[in-house]
Amino acid sequence: MLRHWHDAVPNDRIAHLVKDATRALLRSLQARLSAHNVQLGHWTFLRILWEQDGVTKRELSVEAGVSEPTTFIALRAMEALGYVTLSQRAENRKNVYVFLTPKGRQLKGKLVPLAEDVNAIALAGVSDKDVRIVRQTLLRMIDNLADDGALNKAG
């Protein structure tokens, strides 16, 4: 992969670079998470719940950017692992609320440093200024694509 980007197509589209960088970051993170019996798909939900415990399954789906059936499957697996509990409230049986268990909360102290390690590895040799520029550029790209008229027409 490295030779490909440096030699074969040095001026290829930014989307391809972002995709390959994302894949490399995720592979590195998954290698670390698996040592703690955490799937990459669960990582996103855990990160959200560490910040907003007790959200509905629907809110969690929206925040994670995945469908409700995908969220439900992941939550059932996370419940079986003892990371979350799912419950309904007597006054509203329609919504399913997601709560971290103590085991799920404790994962934060173990897993966040692993993600920080992956970021440090990825950014080794990159100046603070360049990190700020990349961050600003990626955020601008995300904003631009969120405003993409073609997406608004398709959805």
pTM of the model as a whole: 0.80
Task: Check: CB of residue 3 under 8 Å from CB of residue 17.
Answer: no
Per-domain residue ranges of the chain: 2-148
Quote the CA–CA distance of 115 and 87 in Å, as a whole number: 29
Which pLDDT tens digits describe the chain residue by residue (155 residues)? 555 555 555 566 788 889 989 999 999 999 999 999 899 999 999 999 999 999 999 999 999 999 999 999 999 999 999 999 999 877 777 888 999 999 999 999 999 999 999 999 999 999 999 999 999 999 999 899 888 877 666 55
| Contacts of the segment 6-13: beta carbons below 8 A, 24+ positions apart | none
- pLDDT score, position 126: 96
Residue with tokens 């990160």: 47
Q: Tell me what pLDDT residue 6 has.
A: 54
- Which amino acid, 42? H
Tell me if 107 sits within 8 A of 33, measured CB to CB: no
CA dihedral (41, 23, 117, 9) in degrees, to 10, reads -170
- Which DSSP helix (H) or strand (E) runs through 117? helix 102-122
pLDDT reported for residue 3: 56
Decide: 37 and 43 in contact? Cβ < 8 Å.
no
Burial of 95 (0-12, 13-18, 19+ CB in 10 A): middle
The predicted pLDDT at position 151 comes to 66
Matching residue, tokens 């409700």: 68
CATH architecture type of domain 2-148: Orthogonal Bundle (1.10)
What is the per-residue pLDDT for 101? 97
Q: What is the DSSP letter of 52?
A: S
**What does the pLDDT read at residue 146?**
86
**Residue 83 in 3-state DSSP?**
coil
